[in-house]
A and B are shown apart, each in its own frame.
Chain A
Amino acid sequence: MYYYLDISFVNQDITAALFKNHIITSIKHVFGEIAAAIPFDVVKYDPSEIRAIVRVTQDHYVKFRGSLTLAGYYQGKPCAYIVHKVSPLLLSLLGDSRTYVH
């Protein structure tokens, strides 16, 4: 079973491959070499918003999210990840009733 995260990166425009690479570096930085081997997939990437949907197994979700929180720098400049929505059901990332304007 998987968890799906809708996240965006706050720093500068980067490609999908660099985006994934930066997450791996962040996991390695916080949890070490072995945790950096956590398999995860960037299933959708929107370069205009630097926003992605990422799939990670349930067992690794907590460590993965912890690494995103603690990711501090990209190429020496401060950076951050915004987690918009998280769900074990991918379809629920279609929309968020909290941010919808009626």
Chain B
Amino acid sequence: MLSPEIWNFKAPDSLVKVEKGNIVNNNCFNTIQKLHHNHLVSVVLPDTLRVPQNICETLKNDCEYYKISNVGLDELVNINFINAFVRKGIFISLSINERIDCDDCMCITPNGFLLLSLTKETYESLGLEGTPSHYYNTKQRYVVSINLLSNHFKPGKKNYDRTKDRLLTLKKMTLLINWEPPHLDICPSSVAKYFDDLKFDVQVCLPDFQMRTNYTIKVPNFTMDNIHEFVEWLGMFSLESDLGGGGESYLSTYETPQPYQEYGQVKFLQWRGFFSSQQINKLLEVLISHLKDEEKPWISLYVQGFSDVVVGWDLQEHHYYTNGDNGYVIVLNSEDYMVYQHMCSKKSYK
């Protein structure tokens, strides 16, 4: 017989945190504030014949974001840009088409940090100070952090001039940007105009919205005892998988968790794009007010972050192992909420 110790292959860890509480305390909003670069949002509404227009439009209206191609990163430390956008309102950005496990990535966080996750070769040729990545014991990757809002970070200062000069040597990237102005009378497209005036290729992107209805669906009751099964069911329903019709099947042994109730119509809504945590906040507020207006068994909200962003939860460093997922599920009923927080593995490479 083969040694069981040698044949005990463990799957990569993933971290799950479950939190519950009363909806009156508004603590469920805290989780949303911890994840800043959001890609995918989905909502499941059981027992719903008509979806209120304001739910569909919360992440469609005024949720345009911009894609700017071939930007040199020195443009992002331009003092005019920092004073006009990073210092005012909420500005977030990240590089796309770059993979965090093999390429150079960058992001800008809402608190005004420009973060670069660089391969060893790029880091050594760049010449800016950084720290070795937490995930690579062999120092194969480095993180460079630049505080754009620091009082000393302005033209004429040695640090500023050197940073700008060195960022000029980095390769150009394609960025997504999302800016929420400080006042309602300022148009969010000002940031696009700024880059357009500099002759960059700026493209406006609209979130992709999909809605579907499934009929006669067995919906499990929401209780804290079966939370993993409940979240798995949300996945099965969202992906339109086989929800188990009872009886033995060769393909799948999955069955809807008990106790369940059958509803005539269950709605599924999904948005994809680039959303800030403030935009998700607004959606949750709309969902909570919808729950107060109409009697519903529960409502669920799932949010997924970007796989290749430099920082994930709480601005901690992010990486890509078997996947680069950071996400959370919030399930609400008229009184309570449950937050199922899914964090990427913290395991470091050997």
Contacts and interface: CB of A to CB of B under 8 A. Distances in A.
A66 B39 CA distance: 30
A49 interface: no
B235 A97 contact: no
B42 A39 contact: no
Main secondary structure of the interface of B (DSSP, over half): mixed
B96 to A, nearest CB: 6
Contacts of B48: none
Contacts of B274: 102
Contacts of A58: 11
A91 B254 contact: no
Contacts of B308: 97-98
A62 B13 CA distance: 12
B307 interface: yes
B242 A43 contact: yes
A44 B244 CA distance: 11
B254 A94 contact: no
B251 interface: yes
A44 B241 contact: yes
Contact of A97 (B234, B239, B307): B307
A97 B250 contact: no
Interface residues of B, number: 47
A91 B323 contact: no
Given A43-B236, A95-B39, A62 B306 contact: no
B323 A85 contact: yes
A87 interface: yes
B250 A102 contact: no
Interface in A79-101: 85-98, 100
Given A44-B241, A53-B241, A58-B11, A94 B40 contact: yes
Given A43-B242, A62-B10, A90 B236 contact: yes
B254 A43 contact: yes
B11 A91 contact: no
Contacts of A90: 231-232, 234-236, 239
A2 B232 contact: yes
Nearest to B42: A94
Contacts of A98: 99, 307-308, 324
Interface of A: 1-4, 16-17, 20, 39, 41-45, 53, 55, 58-59, 61-63, 66, 85-98, 100, 102
Nearest first, the 3 closest Cβ-Cβ pairs linking A and B are A90-B235, A62-B9, A41-B252
